[in-house]
Amino acid sequence: MKLLAGNSNRPLAEAIAAYLDVPLARCSVKRFADMEIFVELQENVRGEDVFIVQSTSFPANDHLMELLILIDACRRSSARRITAVIPYFGYARQDRRTAGRTPISAKLVSNLITESGADRVLTLDLHAGQIQGFFDIPTDNLFAAPVLARDIKERMPEGERMVVSPDVGGVVRARALSKRLETTLAIVDKRRDRPGESEVMNIIGEVRGRSCILIDDIVDSGGTLCNAAEALLANGANEVSAYITHGVLSGGAVSRIANSKLKELVITDSIQPTEAVKVARNIRVVSIAPLLGEAISRTATESSVSSLFD
């Protein structure tokens, strides 16, 4: 096995390497003066099972190009099999046409990864499950739910907790976590007037006296979470925490969450946390390195990956 890493999330790649007890392969990812990306593999990968760890997070286009060029470098160096490990799959929110004359960018990115020479893809909590079908190569979509559920059980009293979906579209994800925690489920019904803004309308379910856990796959501007927390507290909830897989946290999101009524926002390190995230009073990061490391190990040994979630 050879484990390679781009520049998008080096700490996560190093943590995965430590879990697997495999050193990161020596690789140089540089930029020329005009910002063209240049990759040089500094050790032999001929006949090897190569795993490339690279989230396509901000700046998404740069990190996507790094991934494509890394894959091409491995293919041209005669790697036996190339697996793109993409903890956060950018462009996933563009998974369908929302209006006339618009693209389906998630499909385009899937095609680029496939055509660059990847043999399979390993990713985490895709925004829409059907994106797995956009790839014409085997794709494993892992779930952060076991990691998040373990953290919730360790920190929150069993009788008080209640899982809440911040919108109707996330009910399936919230129900799965609710089943793991053996607790009840509520839903925030909201209306979004324009991108990046949301208006909470009402709460479906009885949240009075409960410790509410908002669950979602992506937090970007943070507006939905903050509005949902206010609505839940207004309806009698004791406290509100949020567990989100991918902490995009663009613009003023960190400041917005730090000044909100959320007790805590818990995100994974699928996207490398910024300094602002690290010092925020109510944002905490849990690692998904063991989950990804175990999935990589099972892929390398041709063992079952789905049994990770039984």
Virtual torsion, Cα 61, 67, 70, 76, nearest 10 deg: -100
CA distance readout (Å), 218 to 57, 215, 224, 243, 303: 12, 9, 11, 10, 29
* Peptide bond preceding 59 in cis form (omega within 30 of 0): yes
pLDDT the model gives residue 20? 97
Mean pLDDT estimate for the chain: 93
pLDDT the model gives residue 123? 97
pLDDT tens, residue by residue, 71-89: 999 999 999 999 999 999 9
Residues placed in the known binding site: 34-36, 93-94, 127, 167, 192, 216, 220-224
- Calpha distance 284→114 (Å, rounded): 34
Q: Which fold has domain 145-287?
A: Rossmann fold (3.40.50)
The lowest-confidence range among 28-37, 40-49, 56-65, 191-200 is 191-200
Scored b (16 or more CB within 10 A) or e, 186-200 reads bbbebeeeeeeebeb
Positions annotated as catalytic residues are 190
- Percent of the chain at pLDDT > 70 equals 96
- Calpha distance 232→242 (Å, rounded): 12
| pLDDT average, residue stretch 103-127 | 97
Q: Is the pLDDT of residue 198 over 60?
A: no
CA distance readout (Å), 157 to 120, 147, 151, 181, 230: 40, 17, 12, 11, 22
Residues placed in the known binding site for ATP: 34-36, 93-94
Q: Is the pLDDT of residue 228 over 70?
A: yes
Residues placed in the known binding site for Mg(2+): 127, 167
Helices marked H in the chain — which ranges?
10-20, 60-76, 105-116, 145-155, 171-181, 223-234, 253-258, 275-279, 289-300
pLDDT tens, residue by residue, 137-191: 999 999 999 999 999 999 988 888 999 999 888 899 999 999 999 999 999 987 6
Please check whether residue 83 is in contact with residue 118, taking contact to mean a CB–CB distance below 8 angstroms.
yes
pLDDT the model gives residue 167? 86
pLDDT tens, residue by residue, 232-275: 999 999 999 999 999 999 989 999 999 999 999 999 999 999 99
- Calpha distance 297→133 (Å, rounded): 24
Confidence of residue 210 (pLDDT cuts 50, 70, 90): very high
Higher pLDDT, 197 or 155: 155
pTM: 0.92
Confidence of residue 200 (pLDDT cuts 50, 70, 90): low
Residue 43: how many CB atoms within 10 A of its CB?
12
For the chain, domain boundaries: 2-142+290-309, 145-287
Structure-block tokens of residue 285: 């990061």
- Tell me, rounded to whole angstroms, the distance of Cα 107 from its chain centroid: 18
Q: What is the 3-state secondary structure (H, E, C) of 15-49?
A: HHHHHHCCCECCEEEEECCCCCEEEEECCCCCCCE
Question: Is 2-142+290-309's fold the same as 145-287's?
Answer: yes
Residues placed in the known binding site for D-ribose 5-phosphate: 192, 216, 220-224
- Percent of the chain at pLDDT > 90 equals 87
Instruction: Tell me which CATH code domain 2-142+290-309 carries.
Output: 3.40.50.2020
| pLDDT average, residue stretch 113-132 | 95
How far from each other are the two terminal CA atoms of the chain, in whole angstroms?
26
Please check whether residue 180 is in contact with residue 143, taking contact to mean a CB–CB distance below 8 angstroms.
no
